[in-house]
Structure 1
Amino acid sequence: MYDVNTHDVRRFFAHVWQHRFTPLQLDGLQQKALRILEAHQEYAHYLENIEQYLDHTWTPEQGETNPFLHLSMHLSIQEQVAIDQPFGIRDIHAQLCAKHHDDWVAAEHEMMDALAETIWEAQRYQRGLDVNNYMTRLRKLIQLGQEDNARINPHEVPLSDQISMRE
């Protein structure tokens, strides 16, 4: 696991933005982040003045969306799609992109609601992410219902099985 804090995430995106004119110097993850940043130019002000926004709090009550959370959710979805985990997310992403005439940003914005709701639920009930609820939410976006067979959530795998999987 990574020990990443809010400042690290914000500086990561600002660093990528600063290197947007030399993308070959960026690693694979940074290049994905750059693609996301280029699609969200409205956040340039935050990225170019990162020191002012390291401790800033965006609140829904004030009608604000945290730009770094938004960017991070895009990156999370793209990483999930790249490795097709949870299984089937790549196909859902492709179908949503097709629905939006190859607009991956619009597709991922739809998917973000499902991810945000799943994360919120896990935090509220102090448990791991429920991959079944997440996939059901995503499947509804393409007019599919719940899957026939429930998946095992990673946090539900017994420790002894986790250890034997590593060996």
Structure 2
Amino acid sequence: MQDCPSAHTSRCETSTDTRQLGKKFAAGLSAGDVVILDGPLGAGKTTFTQGIAEGLQVRGKVTSPTFVIARQHRSTVGGPELIHVDAYRLIGDGDSGGTDPVGALDSLDLDTDLMDAVVVAEWGGGLVEQITDSYWLVTFDRTTAVVADPDSHARIISWQRKHTG
């Protein structure tokens, strides 16, 4: 990712703000990038992914992958595809317990090589980063703004580049 800093924090007041931040984030993603989204239910992970999809200009409606485990979205402009994964369901209970994440992704029988796509994994912490040497960790905080103002619906979204090994 070249256009975004290696660490960044934004406050998003609305879902539109979250989607726009995802689109901005996508501007620097390229094939082979892995993005792990970490945060509680309802924090904006899928909304952020909708922005990534818009930025990557891929086909198909982006919805939570919870019930299908993974969705593949093809590019409309010859760019990388988007693979949106629910890593918790992919691996099982979220405890890798010896499960091979690469094997689990391969078992999905995707029509593309992971190195030709951007992989966005909800609930992927501790699992999906095993498939790559570096990844983006995007965290969603939906409590800090509410503690300061109980009427707030804001999310604090932060990302940083991480390296394994």
TM-score (norm 1): 0.27
The answer to which structure, 1 or 2, has the higher relative contact order (CA under 8 A, 6+ apart) is 2
TM-score (norm 2): 0.28
Structure (1 or 2) with the greater helix fraction: 1
Structure (1 or 2) with the greater strand fraction: 2
